[in-house]
Amino acid sequence: MSVAYKDQLYAELKKQHHHNRTLFEDPEFPATNSSLYFHKPPPGVVQWKRPGEICENPHLFVEGISSHDLNQGIVGNCWFVAACSCLALKPDLWEKVIPDWKEQEWDSNYAGIFHFRFWIFGQWTDVVIDDRLPTINGRLIYCQSKQNNEFWSALLEKAYAKLFGCYESLVGGNTGDAVVDFSGAVAEAIDLQKEKYNEDKKKQDKLFGNLLKVWEHNGIISSSINVSDHLFLQASSVYVSSESLTTSKSYIFFEISQTQEFELESRMDNGLVRGHAYSVTDVKRVSLGHGLQTYFKNETIPLIRLRNPWGDSEWTGAWSDSSEEWSKVGDAERSNLGITVADNGEFWMSFTDWCKNFTDVDICHLMNTSLISIRKNWNEKVHFGKWTRNSDPLLNRCGGCTNHMETFLQNPQYLFDVTKESDEVLTSLQQKDRRIYRKEGQGENLSIGFTIVKVEVNRKYRLHKLETLEIMHGFTYINARTVFKRIELPQGRYVVIPTTYEPFIEGEFMLRIYTDVDNCCRELVKDKPQPKSCTAPCEYPQLVTHIHVYRAEIGQQGDQAEGINPYVIISCEGQSVRSTTKKNTLTPVFEFSAIFYWKKVAEPITVQLWSDDLGSDKFLGEVLLPGMPDDNSSRWYWLKNKGSKKADNMPSIIALRLVTSNELTAL
């Protein structure tokens, strides 16, 4: 299902104009300068022309769709063109983005109207346009196809420009963002230099295996080359760059001259272009050798194929079109790879050279959430939220990062569970695209990130204090549209806190969490238990206690750990939680915590140690904890017999920490 952008319904508008024998003129994106630019006009006199006025026999597609179809125009949006090249390789995707493409082809029903679909902030959005395109001297000035009568790329670009106000709003961007808008994928950015992929062969091998898996699962990959550090400008402690920097790092738009622009998107001696986005069009282990030698030696080399959106300027090093390295590959393998010696912008290079020459890669994962699939399927939870400002600390929801601890926990909080012994958790935080505000000079992304905290196994209310908890991940804040983290987490309960870098900055976000099994992710809204209207004061919780069990040392006759499978049960006023069972150990490490809101302050909290002995549980001792307000103790306790208040110690001890407060929003 999709929603109609600006409430413009394609089928109704086309029927209306076909019936009236008029060509559609879009009032929401008129053929005027306001649709072209907000600051810097194109270099010439612009005339808006329909495809039939530019060439004879116009079509959406000429001989199908290909990554070779399109080339970048004068606007600095190689990031978008690279994404289009990636899109062209995926029929199941481009048929979503270009719906009813056969019906939209030029025929007797032509009415000058087309439509395209984009996945905008979690919703497929149908965008209607007319086909009047900006030209100078009769030639298209923006994205264009190599075939002068093919217009799918130019019309797609116009629809995307309409979403963001004008063509100039597309200057500077991230290829991964456009791919997400084409697909709903989850974008992952990797800094090849920062992560030392250019130096570490083992890391290269692991990355190649991951990219090969992504490619085989229909993922979309792009990469770029960052410019020299001296070309970066610093503003408000956030690094920003000019319009043509299309890396996974963030950037804010600055006006630069054509000369500066050329210097940034400049060719290097090896044919690659700095500050420029490339689409990856294949990832493959290529067999070396000829004839039977190929099978007996079984020698391969990891290669990657890329395309320059300019349609020329190729890599000239090893494994380029006419390099001698191809003599090591048999004719059949070369034919399968489609090697052509032509300056068409597409080229192969070794994966090692790619890691050394490129600085940033965007990986867009098409997450399989289908339950009927032979491929791994992910459990997905999606939440839409807002950073909103309020003078009441309990209602404020834009508290900034952990540099601002007095407000940090005022941010939105989302709880999820890892129910397996260990699970890979993928977290994607995407802010609402602000490019539409560039006309008002406010189109910069917010600096965003998120923190993942391991919390008590029975946590149900919002966090108010971090001291008793373990931070599993803290994000480096960046003003990118999307931030992503892949992390292996042990069994337990967690809270993810999406934030802006500075407090009291408002914005909208989408949080997506993927795990192997259901994670029950939900937003924490309430700060503490809510009394019912008929609840007497004595029946409402008086204290809140956090208890953390670190480890135990089990004493017994002999020192054999075989068959000793300890676990902990914590009980308070009829509520109990149980830790996982540790196998065959006399010194179990639990790192297990719980939180209780309790009414009868005279009754203690009970911590019991048991052993699971082949289904016959064995009691190993307990400790009774009174939990006084402002108690904050961490020590070893001797375990006692069940119900005993005397000093008849069992031969075991347990280390734990107790924090109690009579302020229910203290923990």
Query: What is the length of the chain?
Result: 667
> How far is 469 from 453, CA to CA, in rounded Å?
7
> How far is 246 from 244, CA to CA, in rounded Å?
6
Which residue carries 């026999």 as its tokens? 57
Which phi and psi (to 5°) does residue 336 adopt? -65, -30
The DSSP letter of residue 272 is: -
Using alpha carbons, select from 295, 277, 270, 287 the residue that is nearest to residue 337: 287
What is the distance between the terminal CA atoms of the chain, rounded to a whole angstrom? 43
Encoded tokens for 14: 């086309």
> What is the rounded (10 degree) CA torsion for 190, 193, 198, 201?
-60
Which residue carries 């984009």 as its tokens? 118
**How far is CA 258 from each of CA 40, 74, 266, 315, rounded to the nearest angstrom?**
11, 10, 12, 24
Helix (H) or strand (E) holding 4: strand 3-4
Question: What residues are labeled active site?
Answer: 78, 276, 308
Return the number of other C-beta atoms located less than 10 Å from residue 517's C-beta.
12
Encoded tokens for 487: 């992390």
**DSSP class per residue in 166-211:** SGGGGSS--HHHHHHHHH-PEEEEEETTTTTTTT-HHHHHHHHHHH
Encoded tokens for 459: 């946590």
> How far is 204 from 193, CA to CA, in rounded Å?
12
Kindly give the pairing relationship between strand 123-130 and strand 3-4. parallel
Q: In the chain, what's the furthest Cα-to-Cα distance?
A: 99
Encoded tokens for 171: 């200057």
Helix (H) or strand (E) holding 534: none
Q: Which residues neighbour 316 within 8 Å (Cβ) at sequence distance 6 or greater?
A: 270, 271
Using alpha carbons, select from 377, 378, 396, 376 the residue that is nearest to residue 386: 396
Amino acid letter for position 464: H
Backbone conformation region of residue 550, classed left if phi is above 0, alpha if psi is from -120 to 50, else beta:
alpha
Using alpha carbons, select from 630, 628, 621, 616 the residue that is nearest to residue 667: 630
**DSSP class per residue in 423-449:** EEEEEEEEEPP-GGGGGGT--PPPPEE
Residue 161 contacts residue 36 (beta carbons within 8 Å) = no
CA neighbours within 13 Å on the CB side: how many for 221? 23
Encoded tokens for 618: 């064995």
> How far is 135 from 54, CA to CA, in rounded Å?
9
Q: Is the dihedral of CA 474, 417, 485, 525 positive or negative?
A: negative
